[in-house]
Amino acid sequence: MALDAQYHAPGSMAAAFLPAGGTPLPDPIRVIRSRPDRIERFAGYQVDVKAETFEIRCSDVAAPVVGDVIDVGGSRFSIDIDPVIDVEGLSWMMLASPIP
């Protein structure tokens, strides 16, 4: 229940998930979206973050990969770096760049 509350709190939103080369998920998922404004280390990379950071529940998307697309309110973002799962195995964190 705590995880559900987090994904329905301010800063979270509904999104569509489109697997690379596959069929979009039939139901919307919930994401937590943020936009860091500095250089960060992520999954062993140093990134000048102009990308968005998304967190997605593992129960919504079992195995996101580079090239999958997240659509938030008509704005599309492509996952750039292999998503990282949290220590409890409940959420994925990923960087995604806007698709023009």
| Residue in the structure block whose two tokens are 């062993």 | 44
Q: Among candidates 92, 76, 91, 84, which has minimal Cα distance to 16?
A: 76
Q: Where residue 44 sits, what CATH number does that domain have?
A: 2.40.10
Whether 83 shows a pLDDT value over 90: the answer reads: yes
Q: Which domain holds residue 13?
A: 2-98
Whether 23 shows a pLDDT value over 60: the answer reads: yes
Lowest model confidence (mean pLDDT) among 41-45, 71-75, 89-93:
41-45
Q: Among candidates 51, 8, 3, 5, which has minimal Cα distance to 30?
A: 8
Dump pLDDT digits (tens) for 27-64.
899 999 887 665 666 667 766 656 688 999 999 999 99
Q: How many domains does the chain have?
A: 1
Q: What pLDDT is attached to residue 37?
A: 62
Q: How crowded is residue 64: how many other Cβ atoms within 10 Å of its Cβ?
A: 22
